């Protein structure tokens, strides 16, 4: 069995963590390939409730090797906090490996993320302020520092001195704040390097070995396709590609090695941060959903904006990822609604659009066209077979399949592992 990708299909927080925790039962390897600790993946299982930011959600499955690939940026402080929390809960973390090519989030990245956001005022992106964007900027600007660099302390000191000189110039001359100390950063990151050393590997070879002998490798996406720097709602996007294609670059595998691509869609829509969201609900309905579903960010605690299911942006997500399956999460959240709207297309200047415009300000002007479906108004959390869902709920699922042009193979009806309906097995 080759690689199977689990990809966020909307603006993040679709429930990727819980889907990966579920599918990892049969996985030999679970890998993260993009983003950083801007991600917050909630997993609830017999070990407790976890919000994973860097460690793959396969860590709870004793047979699964977990890998943080080269495409991820790592804040070592967050990584070790997470590892310690897992160990305290009795989870074995010795099966975790980190790519020696993964870039590090440095203290100046976190500072700059906040300073840049503050300086943008009302035009701020609403980033998670974890330094993820500035770390990817440095990767591309060839000013990054990688986990493998920490293993040679003197070479690392020289590299850091070179980079920090440039960062301190920005901090002092543009933002008028104190420069950062080379000695302090060098010391603390050498300490992280010593702790990280047992985890650091050339992970592309580990992944290749697993794929060569046909082991199941789960690719755990982070963020969502509509936050992709190319196909998302630019500039209100993240800074690495959450798309299935991003897994090839973020791990060193080939496109031909990915057999299935599962698009994880929430049964409605949420978004954290700024940027257009055509199907955003009125305040009262959004409030009902947010409080019922506890729609608050797993990383920053910010309230999530809530909206109706949007198949217009959904179809773009299907197109740019090539989903072979849809996993539809949080169906139970809709149990209370008397009727449910689904956006089928947009209207813009008298024209009907089946695909969203690429420009964020134009997207912001699009009027969503809805089809309104009757709600089922009965609990679904206990249901485990598709045919046992209320008729209206089945119709809702069929409508989404029709609008996306992709089959729904998994439905989740609660946050716990077993609270799901397997419509068709794809493993």
Q: Describe the chain by its helix, strand, coil percentages, rounded to 5.
A: 40, 20, 35
Out of 8, 35, 36, 40, the residue judged to bind Mg ion by CB under 5 A: 40
Smallest gap from residue 294 Cβ to ligand GDP (A)? 6
Rounded to the nearest 5°, which phi and psi values hold at 298?
Answer: -75, -20
Shortest reach from residue 386's CB to ligand IMO, in Å: 26
For ligand IMO, the closer CB: 160 or 219: 219
Choosing from 21, 28, 41, 100, which is the catalytic residue? 41
Q: What is the DSSP letter of 142?
A: T
Q: Is the dihedral of CA 213, 200, 57, 314 positive or negative?
A: negative
The mark string for 312-351 relative to ligand GDP (x by CB under 6 A, - otherwise) is -----------------xx-xx------------------
15 in contact with ligand GDP (CB under 6 A): yes
Site string for ligand GDP, 76-95 (x = CB under 6 A): --------------------
Selected from 102, 298, 408, 423, the binder of Mg ion by CB under 5 A is 298
Where does residue 153 rank: exposed (0-12), middle (13-18), buried (19+ CB within 10 A)? middle
User: Binding ligand GDP by CB under 6 A: which of 3, 10, 11, 18?
Assistant: 18
Residues 27-46 that bind ligand IMO (CB under 6 A): 38-41
Measured N-to-C along each axis, helices 203-212 and 244-251 cross at an angle, to the nearest 10 degrees, of 120
Nearer to ligand GDP, 44 or 249 (CB): 44
Q: 318 and 406 in contact (C-beta within 8 Å)?
A: yes
Work out which of 28, 41, 61, 260 binds ligand GDP, going by CB under 6 A. Answer: 41
260 is catalytic: no
Judge contact between 320 and 312, C-beta under 8 A. no
Contact 278, 21 (CB under 8 A): no
**One of 76, 107, 245, 273 touching ligand IMO (CB under 6 A):** 273
Residue of 313, 415, 421, 423 that binds ligand GDP (CB under 6 A): 415
Span near ligand IMO by CB under 6 A; candidates 8-16, 89-97, 380-388, 392-400:
8-16
Known active-site residue 13:
yes
CB 307 within 8 A of CB 10: no
User: Of 121 and 301, which has the nearer Cβ to ligand GDP?
Assistant: 301
User: Which residues are CB-contacts of 198 (< 8 A; sequence separation ≥ 6)?
Assistant: none
According to CB under 6 A, which residues from 242 to 301 bind ligand GDP? 293, 298
**24 dihedral zone (left: phi>0; alpha: psi -120 to 50; beta):** alpha
- Pick from 231, 214, 211, 215: which is nearest to 223 by CA? 231
Residue 303: enclosing H or E segment and its boundaries? Answer: none
How many other β-carbons are positioned within 10 Å of the β-carbon of residue 401?
16
**Cα 304 from chain centroid (whole Å):** 15
Q: Which residues bind ligand IMO (CB under 6 A)?
A: 8, 11-13, 38-41, 125-128, 130, 132-133, 222-224, 227, 238-239, 272-273, 298
Catalytic residues: 13, 41
Question: Which residues of this chain interact with ligand GDP, rule CB under 6 A?
Answer: 8, 12-18, 40-42, 44, 293, 298, 329-330, 332-333, 412-415, 419
């Amino acid at each position: 069995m080759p690689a199977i990708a689990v990809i966020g299909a909307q603006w993040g927080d679709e429930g990727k963590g819980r889907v990966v925790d579920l599918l990892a039962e049969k996985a030999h390897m679970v890998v993260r390939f993009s983003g950083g600790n801007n991600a917050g993946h909630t997993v609830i299982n017999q070990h407790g409730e976890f919000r994973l930011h860097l460690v793959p959600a396969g860590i709870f499955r004793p047979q699964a090797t977990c890998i943080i690939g080269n495409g991820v940026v790592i804040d070592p402080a967050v990584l070790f906090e997470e590892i310690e929390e897992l160990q305290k809960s009795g989870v074995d973390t010795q099966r975790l490996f980190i790519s020696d090519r993964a870039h590090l989030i440095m203290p100046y990245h976190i500072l700059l993320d906040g300073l840049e956001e503050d300086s943008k005022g009302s035009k701020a992106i609403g980033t998670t302020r974890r330094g993820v964007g500035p770390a990817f900027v440095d990767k591309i600007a060839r000013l990054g520092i990688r986990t493998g660099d920490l293993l040679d302390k003197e070479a690392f000191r020289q590299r850091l001195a070179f980079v920090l000189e440039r960062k301190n110039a920005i901090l002092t001359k543009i933002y008028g704040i104190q420069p950062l100390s080379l000695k302090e950063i060098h010391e603390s990151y050498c300490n992280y390097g010593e702790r990280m050393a047992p985890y650091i590997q050339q992970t592309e070879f580990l992944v290749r070995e697993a794929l060569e002998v046909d082991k199941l490798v789960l690719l755990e996406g982070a963020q969502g396709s509509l936050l992709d720097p190319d196909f998302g709602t630019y500039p209100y996007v993240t800074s690495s590609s959450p798309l299935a294609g991003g897994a090839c670059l973020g791990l060193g595998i080939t496109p031909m090695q990915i057999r299935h691509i599962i698009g994880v869609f929430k049964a409605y829509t949420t978004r954290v941060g700024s940027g257009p969201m055509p199907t955003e609900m009125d305040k009262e309905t959004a409030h009902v959903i947010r409080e019922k579903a506890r729609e608050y960010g797993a990383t920053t605690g910010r309230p999530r904006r809530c909206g109706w299911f949007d198949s217009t942006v959904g179809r773009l997500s299907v197109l740019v990822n090539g989903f072979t399956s849809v996993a539809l999460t949080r169906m139970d959240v809709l149990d209370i609604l008397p009727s449910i709207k689904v956006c089928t297309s947009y209207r813009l200047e008298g024209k009907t659009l089946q695909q969203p415009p690429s420009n964020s300000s134009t997207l912001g002007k699009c009027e969503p066209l809805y089809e309104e479906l009757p709600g089922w108004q009965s609990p679904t959390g206990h249901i485990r077979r598709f045919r046992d869902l209320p008729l209206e709920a089945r119709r809702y699922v069929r409508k989404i399949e029709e609008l996306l042009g992709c089959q729904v193979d998994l439905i989740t009806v609660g946050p716990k592992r077993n609270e799901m309906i397997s419509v068709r097995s794809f493993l």
